[in-house]
Amino acid sequence: MPRKRSSKRPGASAGAAQKGQVRIIGGERRGHRLHFVDHGGDLRPSSDRMRETLFNWLQFEVPGLRVLDLFAGSGALGAEALSRGARDAVLVEKQRERCADLSRQLTPLFEGRITVHCADALSWLPAQQEPFDLIFIDPPYDLGLVTPACEALEAHGLLASGAIIYVESRRQGEVPAVPAHWVLSKEKSSGDIHARLYRREPDAV
């Protein structure tokens, strides 16, 4: 199972597009496979194991939530949330070819509940107005994007009261600097990946 965004995989030739797929593991679309082409050689879909861990943490909280998948990549996290009953999801992905793949596969699958934006995530955030309940932050490794993303979500008022924020990063890489009122609820390491689940205190201003 390929991972999401990291350094180029061993054996991948420079400039060669790598094909792969991820499987939705729960909910109404369980078993559905999403196909992707890794045009940039840096796509690293969250593994089945990490997604299963994440949604076990969330249990029955997902239905009805408004979701933001900020560095969408293969779309695995956003699709999983929709399959498990999220009200709607916004996916943001910078690479144009990936955006086309996401729209082509996910729009028919979750008609009326998904929006794909082809944009740089940090540039896209300031223009948004509606807050999100569940946010996935799983950017390319080693680019220092986690902390700026967390700061931007707060600065632009894009977190609902009691919002849940999932952060995935390299185990030995960037440790996110998050606001004091983000409470670390769960965390787990698996191989080179470290996952953290934060809950924003409802009375934070």
Query: pTM for this structure?
Result: 0.87
Top pLDDT among 204 and 1 is at 204
Q: pLDDT at position 170, please?
A: 86
Q: How many residues does the chain have?
A: 205
Extents of the domains making up the chain: 18-200
Q: CATH second-level architecture of 18-200?
A: 3-Layer(aba) Sandwich (3.40)
Amino acid letter, 155: A
Residue 41 has pLDDT above 90, yes or no: no
**Pick from 41-45, 66-70, 95-99, 169-173: least confident:** 41-45
Residue 4 has pLDDT above 50, yes or no: no
Provide the mean pLDDT of the chain.
Answer: 88
Q: pLDDT at position 7, please?
A: 36
Residue 38 has pLDDT above 80, yes or no: no
Q: pLDDT at position 196, please?
A: 96
Find the mean pLDDT for residues 88-93.
Answer: 98
Terminus-to-terminus CA distance in the chain, angstroms?
A: 41
β 132-137/159-170 pair status: parallel
d(CA 194, CA 172): 8
Q: Phi, psi (5° rounding) for residue 182?
A: -90, 115
Residue 9 has pLDDT above 80, yes or no: no
d(CA 149, CA 156): 11
Q: pLDDT at position 53, please?
A: 95
Closest CA to 42 of 20, 23, 70: 20
In this structure, what DSSP letter does residue 140 have? P
Q: Is the dihedral of CA 76, 79, 83, 88 positive or negative?
A: positive
